[in-house]
Amino acid sequence: MTTAREIMTAGVECIGENETLADAARKLRDFDIGSMPICGEDNRLKGMLTDRDIVVACIAEGGDPMTVTAGELAQGKPVTIGADDDVSEALATMKEHKVRRLPVIDGHDLVGMLTQADAARSLPDDRIGDLVEYISEPGASRT
């Protein structure tokens, strides 16, 4: 059994819940990524933030990214995977929730991020087709 911890990307950067969306946009640019976890002052995961969230939920609604905070966009409980959960469970979770990235949690601590690319590298050749089929499904989220 391959676990999420074995194939995840460790050392994930967070945007603080009290940091502005302008700060978040700069971090996304600097790290060349499209999404990042929102972490609270208690170091707990509060949600995920995408570049699309900044545009659609803030700018398009007339918000000011210099004053709106990442925490204001954190809604509901984030979809996560346990660090010691099997990769097949991670893929099922991605498919069920239509997400392409999963924060990896050990207890309450964010320890990494598992992407579909991470999962694909760990799959046997006969299972990669299933992943590609999922990625190609209409309506699959890019987050």
Domain presence at residue 114:
yes
What's phi and psi for 93, nearest 5 deg?
-65, -45
- Give pLDDT, residue 91: 85
Domain presence at residue 141:
no
How many domains does the chain fold into? 1
The CATH code of the domain that includes 121 is 3.10.580.10
- Give pLDDT, residue 127: 62
Q: Tell me the two tokens of residue 75.
A: 């809604």
Percent of the chain with pLDDT over 90: 54
Global pTM reads 0.80
Domain presence at residue 143:
no
- Give pLDDT, residue 63: 95
Residue with tokens 């502005």, as numbered in its chain: 20
Which residues make Cβ contacts (< 8 Å) with residue 114, sequence separation at least 6?
Answer: 4, 7, 8, 9, 81, 90, 101, 102, 103, 104
The full 3-state SS of the chain, as one line of letters, equals CCEHHHHCEECCCCEECCCEHHHHHHHHHHHCCCEEEEECCCCCEEEEEEHHHHHHHHHHHCCCCCCCEHHHHCCCCCCCEECCCEHHHHHHHHHHHCCCEEEEEECCEEEEEEEHHHHHHHCCHHHHHHHHHHHHCCCCCCC
Domain presence at residue 142:
no
- Give pLDDT, residue 135: 55
Domain presence at residue 123:
yes
Which parts of the chain register pLDDT below 70? Answer: 123-143
Domain presence at residue 115:
yes
Tell me the per-residue pLDDT of 94-125, one tens digit each, with 9 for 90 and over: 888 888 889 999 988 899 999 888 887 776 66
Q: How many residues does the chain have?
A: 143
Domain presence at residue 34:
yes
81 is in which domain, residue-wise?
4-136
Q: Tell me the two tokens of residue 54.
A: 């900044």
Domain presence at residue 41:
yes
